Amino acid sequence: MFKHELNYGDVYLVPRKTVVDSRKQCDTSVQFGPRRFDMPLYASNMKSVVDAETCEYFARHGWFYTMHRFNVDTVGFVRDMQQKGLFASISIGVNDDTLEQLAALQAAGLTPEYITLDVANAWCVKAERMIRHVKSQFPGSFLIGGNIATAEAARELEAWGCDAIKAGIAGGRVCITKNKTGFHRPMISTVRDCAAAVSVPVIADGGIVEHGDVAKALACGASMVMAGSLFAGYDESAGEIVEINGKHYKEYFGSASQFNKGEYKNVEGKKILVEYKGSMARLLVELKEDLQSSVSYAGGATLAALREVEMIVV
Ligand SMILES: NC(=O)C1=CN([C@@H]2O[C@H](COP(=O)(O)OP(=O)(O)OC[C@H]3O[C@@H](n4cnc5c(N)ncnc54)[C@H](OP(=O)(O)O)[C@@H]3O)[C@@H](O)[C@H]2O)C=CC1
Ligand SMILES: Nc1nc2c(ncn2[C@@H]2O[C@H](COP(=O)(O)O)[C@@H](O)[C@H]2O)c(=O)[nH]1
C-alpha cells in the first residue's frame, strides 16, 4: 500500500575489486558546467555556512561554491570575485527584488558564471517564470534550479531550461518542514528517481551525516552533493562563534528559520549550535581522502566507478 523509501543510513555500497595501487590514484574531480572542480561536493548556500570570504576560500581551493541570497550586494559580490580572477556563483529568489538584482547585474555588464535559483519547492509557477527569465537574460550563465524531490518535477525544471537541478526536500539538519507541513522524501529515493529522469546533472542537497553518504549520493546518480551542517562548525564557516561553559560552538541556522527571516512567519527552519572544530583545511583533505577510498572500493579510478556499484538495504 505504502511505497517504502530509503535514506542514506538505510543503504550500503557493495565493494568491487580494487584496480589502483594507491588511493591517491583515484580522481575525485568533476566537470560541472563550464568548470572542473576538485570534489563533487560543496557547502550549502546558507547565511550560516557561507559568506563572501568562505566562497573565496572554496574557489581558491578548487571547490565549487554558491553564495547565499540573503541581503547580499550581488553586483559587488560578482564584480569582486571576477576582479580577483575567480568565478562568480550567486543565488537568487523568485520575487521582484530578484528581477531588480538581475537588472543591476546587466546594467553593470556582469554575467555570473553560475546562478542558483533557491526556493523550498521549485516545482512552482513562480520558479518557472524566473527560470525562463534568467535563461533568456543570462544565456551565458549556468543555471541551477531547486529544490525538487520527484522525477516529474525534475523533468519539468529541465524542460524550463535548468542546466542542473538540485534535489532534496526537508532532509536537512535544521529543517522543520517535515514536522510543520508533513512533506519530505528520503534522499536515496529522491536522488535515484530524479537522476534517472533527466539528462542534466542532479545535485543531492541535504541530509549528509557521514562522509560515506557523499559516495552513496553519487552512486544514486548525483553529479554533485550539497551539505550544510558538514561545513558549519569551522573558522571559515559564516556562523558566529558562541562560548558556553568554556566550550566553543558555532551557530547553524536554516534559511527559513525565524533567525534568518527576522520574523516568525512561514518558519520552516531552526537554529542550532554545532561543535566548533577549528580550521576547515583538514576537513577538505579528509573528505577527499574518504571519497578517493570510496572510488577504490568501487573498483575504478574515477567517480564514474561509483555508478557501477551495487547498493544494498541493511
Ligand atoms: N530544501 C528544503 O527542503 C527547504 C529549503 N528551504 C530554504 O529556505 C529558504 C526560503 O525558502 P522559500 O520559502 O521557498 O523562499 P522565500 O521565503 O523567498 O519565498 C519565495 C516566494 O515564494 C512564495 N512561496 C514560498 N513557498 C510557497 C508555497 N509553498 N506556496 C506558494 N508560494 C510560496 C513566497 O510567498 P509567501 O511567503 O507569501 O508564501 C515568496 O513570495 C530558501 O533558501 C530555501 O532553500 C526552506 C524550506 C525547505
Ligand atoms: N526545511 C528547511 N531546509 C533548509 C533550511 N535551510 C536550508 N535548508 C536545506 O538544508 C540543506 C542543508 O542540510 P544539511 O543536512 O546538510 O545540514 C540546505 O542545503 C537546504 O537545502 C530551512 O530553513 N528549512
Joined together, the cell numbers standing for residue 234 give 569551522
186 lines ligand 2 (CB under 6 A): no
Write out the binding residues: 202-225
Which residue of 119, 144, 175, 259 sits with most ligand 1 atoms within 8 Å of its CB, as the best mutation to test the pocket?
119
Quote the pLDDT of residue 280: 98
Which ligand is closest in space to the CA of residue 206? 2
Quote the pLDDT of residue 1: 77
The amino acid occupying position 156 is E
Going from the first residue of the chain to its last (314 residues), give the mean pLDDT of each consecutive group of 10, the final group possibly shorter.
Answer: 94 98 98 98 98 98 98 98 98 98 98 98 98 98 98 98 98 98 98 98 98 99 98 97 97 98 97 98 98 98 98 96
Provide the annotated active-site residues.
175
Q: What is the 3-state composition of the chain as percent helix, strand, coil, each rounded to the nearest 5? A: 35, 20, 45
Quote the pLDDT of residue 296: 98
pTM comes to 0.98
Ligand 1 geometric centre to CA of 159 (Å):
22
Whole-angstrom distance, CA of residue 125 vs CA of residue 9 = 34
224-227 vs 202-205, strand pairing mode: parallel
Which atom of ligand 1 is nearest the CA belonging to 206? Answer: 1
Quote the pLDDT of residue 218: 99
Residues 6+ apart with CB under 8 A from 26: 20, 291, 292, 293, 295, 296, 300, 301, 302
Quote the pLDDT of residue 310: 98
Quote the pLDDT of residue 50: 98
Does the ipTM exceed 0.95? yes
Joined together, the cell numbers standing for residue 171 give 532532509
Ligand 1 geometric centre to CA of 36 (Å):
31
Residues 6+ apart with CB under 8 A from 174: 228, 229, 252, 253, 254, 257, 269, 270, 271, 272
